[in-house]
Amino acid sequence: MTDRKYSTVVKILSYQVLIILIVTTGFAVKEGGQQALSAILGGMAAFVPNLYFALRIHRSAGQEARKIVNSFYAGESGKLLLTVALFMMIFQIPNIQTLPLLVSYVATLSVFWFALLMR
């Protein structure tokens, strides 16, 4: 991966963390601790799999095309499984609030769409 692509990935992940903090702070101020906990967990359910995927792809940089493609598919599969596992764990926590959880999850994932628009 070139430095520019790597810096784009780092920027996207950084913006995701920023969005998680903003949404969580908003719910904490307006609604309280349980809403904020739900929001941060929703954001993390989006961020952690994306971080895993980014690290997986970064490790395959400089290899032959077939290995990069295999790494991409393995990373995407792992990302989906990790997302499912995280949501299964999150919904085991008592009193999780669905609205802040999903708002933060969707807001964190939307960073990709805004990144595309900013290019």
What are the CB-based long-range contacts (under 8 Å, 24+) for 73-81? 78/49, 78/52, 78/53, 79/49, 79/50, 79/52, 79/53, 80/49
Q: Would you place residue 4 in the very low, low, confident or very high pLDDT band (cuts 50, 70, 90)?
A: low
Instruction: Give me the mean pLDDT over the 69-84 stretch.
Output: 91
Question: How high does pLDDT run on average in the chain?
Answer: 89
The predicted pLDDT at position 113 comes to 84
**What is the structure's pLDDT at 1?**
45
- pLDDT for the residue 119: 60
pLDDT, position 7: 79
What global pTM score does this model have?
Answer: 0.85
Output the CA torsion 7→70→51→82 (10° steps). Answer: 170
In this predicted structure, which of 43-47, 59-63, 92-96, 104-108 has the lowest mean pLDDT? 59-63
Closest CA to 34 of 113, 114, 107, 95: 95
